[in-house]
C-alpha cells in the first residue's frame, strides 16, 4: 500500500514544487526584462512558463496514471480484470489474453509442483531473507536451513513455492522482478531471487549526464534492497559464473543456487573488435563508476592544462575523442561539450579555441536508427556548437597520447578516447550451453524460452529474438529489455498457474536522444521534433521511466538547482584513474 501511494504523491508534489519554482522564476525575469532588455528575456520567461505548465500537466497526468494503478490494486472497478483458470495473463497490458490452454511444454511444470532439482546451497548463510508479507517461511526451511555442507537432492516432487531466479538486475531483470513481485504478491506459488554483481540498478540512459556532472550517482542508482518493500525478494550480490541446466543450478561465485525457473538478463559489455590498444586506452561508459571516471578525468585535464606552458601539449590535454555516433556517443560528446562551455571555461583560464571534441564513426551519419531529418538536424546542431564530426572514419589504434585514424592516415594528439563503438553480450553467456549467433546472443523461441529448456528465459541485450513482422532481430535497447522482462515474468506466472506462454511482440513508439544544453531529438509515433520542446519531452520521458520516487524528486530538484548554480567541479582522483603527469614531460604525441 505504502509503495503504491508513494509515486502518486511524489508526482503531484513535484508538479507543485516545479510550478512554484517557475512562477518565482517568471516574476523575477519579468521584472528584470521590463527594466533592462524589454521583450527578449520576457519572451524567454514566457516560454519557460509555458513549458513549465506543460511539464506540470504531464506530471499530473503521470500522477493520475498512478492513481489508476492504485485503484486497480485496491480492487476498485477501474479497468479491473478477472483472470480465470486456463487464461494467460498479460501483465504488461493489464488485461487477459485469450489463448489456448497450455501445451505439453508449458505444462512441464504443473501448479504447485516442481521438478526434482531441489538442491541445497553450499553456503546457506549467503541467503538474505527479505521482508515477508503473509508468507510462510517454513516452505523454504528445507532449502535454507539444511545442515548439509554439499549439494543435496531432495524427494522426487515437492510441493513448495517455485524458485524463480533472475540473473542480472538491469532493465530486463529489474522489470521481470517487479512484474513477478506484483503478480505473486498474495500468492504462495513462488519465491523470487535476484542476482547481480552490483547491489543497485543503473539507469543507463542518464549516464552521459553523470559523466558531464549534470547529475550525480544518486539520480541513476536504485538499490535492489528497496524492492523488498514491493514484495518478498531474496537478493544476492555476486558474480554469475556457471550454469548447470540439467541440474537446474546456477553458480554465483562459490554458491550454488537451485531454480525452478531461470531468467537470464545479463546485458552486454563493450566490444573493441579485438583491438588491444583501443581496449587498454579507451574509457568506457557502461556503469556509474565509468561515468564518474570520465567526469573526473575531464576535470583533471583542465587542472593540468591551466599550468601547461606548451600550447601543443595543452591542446593535446584539451582534446576529447568520442568513438561511436550512436545515441550514447552523441550524448556523451554533447554533454561534455556543454560541461566544458557552460562551466569549465568559466573557472579555468584556458583559450576556448584550444578545446576540441571529435565524434568519430565508420558510418556515413550519426544516429543511424533515427529518421534522416532528425539525424541531419542533430548533426547541424552539434557542428554549430563546435563538435567536429569525422564520419566514414575508423579508429584503428590508440596510445597514452594519441588516437590513430584509418590505419595511420591521421593521428590525433589526445589523452582521452571515449569508446562507445560497439557491444557484445555479457561474456558469461559463453558458459550457457545454448545455441548462439555469431555475436554471442542466445537464440530463444518466441516466448523467450531456451529451446529444450522451457524453464529458462533469456532476455535483453543477451538474447536474439526475431521480430517476425519486420523480419529482423529486436535491437539491444532498454524498451525491448523492459518489455521482454515483463513478458518473461508473465509467462512464468502463466506456467505456474497452468496456462500457456505468450509470444513476445513489441512495437516501437519512437526514439529520443539528448543533445545537452536543453536540446533533444524526438521521434514519437512518427512525429519528429527537436530543440527545446524535444528537451522537455526527453526530460518527461526519463522522469517517468526513472526508477524510484526519490530519484525522480532528486532529478527535478537538481535540474532546478542546475539552472541557478554551476555544476560541481570538485574531482576525486581515484586509485585506478588514468595518470596525467603535471608539467610538460609527455614527449611527442604519436605512436
Beta carbon nearer to ligand FAD, 49 or 491: 491
Question: Please, what is the minimum distance in Å from the beta carbon of residue 326 to ligand FAD?
Answer: 9
Out of 426, 494, 495, 523, point to the residue binding ligand FAD (CB under 6 A). Answer: 426
Out of 6, 69, 197, 385, point to the residue binding ligand FAD (CB under 6 A). Answer: 197
Question: Please, what is the minimum distance in Å from the beta carbon of residue 290 to ligand FAD?
Answer: 8
Half-sphere exposure of 308 (CA within 13 A, CB side): 25
**Binding string to ligand FAD for residues 202 to 231, with x set by CB under 6 A, is what?**
--xx-x------------------------
Question: Please, what is the minimum distance in Å from the beta carbon of residue 485 to ligand FAD?
Answer: 7
Q: Are 161 and 190 spatial neighbours (Cβ–Cβ below 8 Å)?
A: yes
Element (H, E) at 240: strand 240-244
Distance from C-alpha of 91 to C-alpha of 178, rounded to nearest angstrom: 11
User: Could you write out the DSSP letters of every residue in 61-106?
Assistant: HHHHHHHHHHHHHTT-SSS-----TT--EETTTTEE-------TTG
Q: Are 214 and 568 spatial neighbours (Cβ–Cβ below 8 Å)?
A: no
Beta carbon nearer to ligand FAD, 476 or 500: 476
Q: How many residues contact ligand FAD, by CB under 6 A?
A: 31
DSSP state of 517: T
Binders of ligand FAD in range 555-584 (CB under 6 A) = none
User: Could you write out the DSSP letters of every residue in 389-455?
Assistant: EE-S--EEEEETTEEEEGGGTEEEE-SEEEE-S-EEE-GGGGGS-S-B-TT-PEE--TTSEETTEEE
Q: Is 428 in the site for ligand FAD (CB under 6 A)?
A: yes
Binders of ligand FAD in range 73-112 (CB under 6 A) = none
Q: Are 337 and 320 spatial neighbours (Cβ–Cβ below 8 Å)?
A: no
Distance from C-alpha of 102 to C-alpha of 189, rounded to nearest angstrom: 18
Beta carbon nearer to ligand FAD, 204 or 316: 204
Distance from C-alpha of 491 to C-alpha of 503, rounded to nearest angstrom: 9
CB count, 10 Å around CB of 384?
A: 8
Distance from C-alpha of 12 to C-alpha of 62, rounded to nearest angstrom: 9
Question: Please, what is the minimum distance in Å from the beta carbon of residue 315 to ligand FAD?
Answer: 27
Q: Is 198 in the site for ligand FAD (CB under 6 A)?
A: yes
Beta carbon nearer to ligand FAD, 284 or 316: 284
Q: Is 495 in the site for ligand FAD (CB under 6 A)?
A: no
Element (H, E) at 372: helix 372-385
Out of 55, 171, 261, 474, point to the residue binding ligand FAD (CB under 6 A). Answer: 171
Out of 324, 327, 516, 534, point to the residue binding ligand FAD (CB under 6 A). Answer: 327
Beta carbon nearer to ligand FAD, 413 or 462: 462
Binders of ligand FAD in range 228-247 (CB under 6 A) = 239-240
Question: Please, what is the minimum distance in Å from the beta carbon of residue 139 to ligand FAD?
Answer: 26
Question: Please, what is the minimum distance in Å from the beta carbon of residue 522 to ligand FAD?
Answer: 12
Three-class DSSP category at 302: helix
Out of 22, 58, 265, 366, point to the residue binding ligand FAD (CB under 6 A). Answer: 265
Q: Is 196 in the site for ligand FAD (CB under 6 A)?
A: yes
Beta carbon nearer to ligand FAD, 428 or 493: 428
What nine digits make up the cell of 589?
604525441
Per 3-state DSSP, what percentage of the chain is helix, strand, and coil (rounded to 5)?
A: 40, 20, 40
Question: Please, what is the minimum distance in Å from the beta carbon of residue 64 to ligand FAD?
Answer: 26
Distance from C-alpha of 440 to C-alpha of 438, rounded to nearest angstrom: 5
DSSP state of 511: E
Where does 462-557 show beta strands of DSSP type E? 463-464, 466-467, 472-473, 510-514, 520-524, 527-531
Where does 267-372 show beta strands of DSSP type E? 268-270, 282-284, 319-323, 356-360
Q: Which stretch binds ligand FAD (CB under 6 A): 137-145, 192-200, 218-226, 545-553?
A: 192-200
Beta carbon nearer to ligand FAD, 172 or 216: 172
Out of 7, 161, 169, 231, point to the residue binding ligand FAD (CB under 6 A). Answer: 169
Q: Is 534 in the site for ligand FAD (CB under 6 A)?
A: no
Out of 87, 91, 177, 286, point to the residue binding ligand FAD (CB under 6 A). Answer: 286
Q: Which stretch binds ligand FAD (CB under 6 A): 9-17, 197-205, 275-283, 466-474?
A: 197-205
Distance from C-alpha of 456 to C-alpha of 328, rounded to nearest angstrom: 31
Q: Is 328 in the site for ligand FAD (CB under 6 A)?
A: yes
Q: Which stretch binds ligand FAD (CB under 6 A): 51-59, 76-84, 164-172, 495-503?
A: 164-172
User: Which residue number places its CB atom closest to ligand FAD?
Assistant: 170
The residues with which 511 forms a beta bridge, in sequence order, are: 523
Binders of ligand FAD in range 429-488 (CB under 6 A) = 460-462, 476-479, 481
What nine digits make up the cell of 268?
552486454
Beta carbon nearer to ligand FAD, 286 or 401: 286
Question: Please, what is the minimum distance in Å from the beta carbon of residue 8 to ligand FAD?
Answer: 26
Q: Which stretch binds ligand FAD (CB under 6 A): 84-92, 193-201, 363-371, 394-402?
A: 193-201
Out of 58, 181, 285, 294, point to the residue binding ligand FAD (CB under 6 A). Answer: 285
Beta carbon nearer to ligand FAD, 109 or 459: 459
Distance from C-alpha of 503 to C-alpha of 106, rounded to nearest angstrom: 13
- Residues 6 or more apart whose CB falls under 8 angstroms from that of 415 comprise 301, 316, 317, 319, 400, 401, 578, 580
Beta carbon nearer to ligand FAD, 67 or 488: 488
Question: Please, what is the minimum distance in Å from the beta carbon of residue 279 to ligand FAD?
Answer: 16
Instruction: Write out the residues near ligand FAD by the rule CB under 6 A.
Output: 168-173, 196-198, 204-205, 207, 239-240, 265-267, 285-286, 327-328, 426, 428, 460-462, 476-479, 481
Amino acid at each position: 500500500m505504502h509503495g503504491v501511494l508513494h509515486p502518486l504523491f511524489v508526482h503531484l508534489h513535484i508538479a507543485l514544487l516545479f510550478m512554484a519554482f517557475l512562477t518565482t522564476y517568471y516574476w523575477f525575469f519579468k521584472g528584470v526584462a521590463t527594466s533592462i532588455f524589454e521583450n527578449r528575456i520576457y519572451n524567454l520567461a514566457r516560454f519557460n512558463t509555458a513549458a513549465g505548465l506543460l511539464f506540470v500537466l504531464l506530471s499530473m497526468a503521470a500522477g493520475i496514471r498512478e492513481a489508476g494503478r492504485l485503484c486497480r490494486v485496491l480492487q476498485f472497478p477501474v479497468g479491473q480484470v478477472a483472470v480465470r483458470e486456463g487464461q494467460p495473463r498479460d501483465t504488461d497490458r493489464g488485461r487477459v489474453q485469450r489463448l489456448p490452454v497450455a501445451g505439453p511444454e508449458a505444462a512441464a511444470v504443473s501448479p504447485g509442483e516442481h521438478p526434482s532439482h531441489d538442491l541445497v546451497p553450499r553456503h546457506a548463510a549467503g541467503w538474505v531473507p527479505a521482508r515477508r508479507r503473509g508468507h510462510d517461511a517454513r516452505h523454504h526451511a528445507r532449502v535454507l536451513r539444511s545442515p548439509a555442507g554439499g549439494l543435496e537432492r531432495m524427494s522426487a516432487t515437492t510441493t513448495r513455492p517455485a524458485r524463480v531466479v533472475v540473473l542480472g538486475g538491469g532493465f530486463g531483470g529489474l522489470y521481470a522482478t517487479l512484474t513477478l513481485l506484483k503478480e505473486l504478491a498474495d500468492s504462495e506459488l513462488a519465491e523470487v531471487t535476484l542476482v547481480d554483481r552490483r547491489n543497485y540498478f543503473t539507469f543507463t540512459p542518464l549516464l552521459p549526464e553523470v559523466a558531464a556532472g549534470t547529475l550525480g550517482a544518486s539520480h541513476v542508482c536504485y538499490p535492489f534492497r528497496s524492492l523488498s518493500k514491493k514484495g518478498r525478494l531474496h537478493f544476492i550480490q555476486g558474480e554469475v559464473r556457471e550454469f548447470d541446466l540439467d541440474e537446474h543450478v546456477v553458480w554465483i561465485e562459490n554458491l550454488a543456487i537451485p531454480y525452478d525457473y531461470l531468467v537470464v538478463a545479463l546485458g552486454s559489455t563493450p566490444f573493441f573488435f579485438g583491438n588491444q590498444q583501443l581496449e587498454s586506452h579507451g574509457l568506457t561508459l557502461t556503469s556509474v563508476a565509468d561515468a564518474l571516471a570520465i567526469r573526473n578525468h575531464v576535470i583533471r585535464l583542465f587542472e593540468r592544462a591551466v599550468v601547461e606552458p606548451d600550447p601543443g601539449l595543452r591542446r593535446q590535454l584539451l582534446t576529447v575523442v568520442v568513438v561511436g555516433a550512436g545515441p550514447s556517443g552523441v550524448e556523451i560528446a554533447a554533454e561534455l561539450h556543454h560541461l566544458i562551455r557552460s562551466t569549465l571555461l568559466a573557472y579555468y583560464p584556458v583559450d576556448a579555441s584550444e578545446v576540441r571534441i571529435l565524434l568519430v564513426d565508420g558510418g556515413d551519419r550519426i544516429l543511424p536508427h533515427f529518421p534522416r531529418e532528425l539525424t541531419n538536424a542533430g548533426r547541424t546542431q552539434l557542428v554549430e556548437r563546435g563538435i567536429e564530426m569525422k564520419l566514414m572514419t575508423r579508429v584503428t589504434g590508440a596510445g597514452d597520447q594519441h588516437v590513430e585514424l584509418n590505419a595511420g592516415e591521421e593521428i590525433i594528439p589526445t589523452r582521452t578516447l571515449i569508446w562507445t563503438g560497439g557491444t557484445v553480450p555479457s561474456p558469461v553467456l559463453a558458459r550457457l550451453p545454448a545455441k548462439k549467433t555469431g555475436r554471442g546472443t542466445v537464440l530463444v523461441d518466441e516466448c523467450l524460452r531456451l529451446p529444450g529448456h522451457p524453464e529458462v528465459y533469456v532476455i535483453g541485450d543477451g538474447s536474439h529474438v526475431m521480430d517476425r513482422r519486420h523480419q529482423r532481430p529486436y535491437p539491444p535497447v532498454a524498451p525491448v529489455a523492459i518489455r521482454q522482462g515483463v513478458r518473461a515474468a508473465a509467462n512464468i506466472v502463466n506456467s505456474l498457474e497452468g496456462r500457456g506462454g505468450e509470444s513476445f511482440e513489441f512495437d516501437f513508439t519512437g526514439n529520443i536522444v539528448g543533445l545537452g544544453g536543453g536540446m533533444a531529438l524526438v521521434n514519437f509515433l512518427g512525429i519528429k521534433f527537436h530543440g527545446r520542446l524535444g528537451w522537455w519531452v526527453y526530460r518527461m520521458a526519463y522522469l517517468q521511466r526513472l526508477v524510484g520516487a526519490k530519484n525522480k524528486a532528486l532529478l527535478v530538484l537538481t535540474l532546478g538547482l542546475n539552472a541557478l548554480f554551476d555544476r560541481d567541479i570538485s574531482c576525486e582522483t581515484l586509485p585506478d584513474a588514468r595518470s596525467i603527469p603535471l608539467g610538460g614531460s609527455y614527449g611527442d604525441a604519436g605512436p
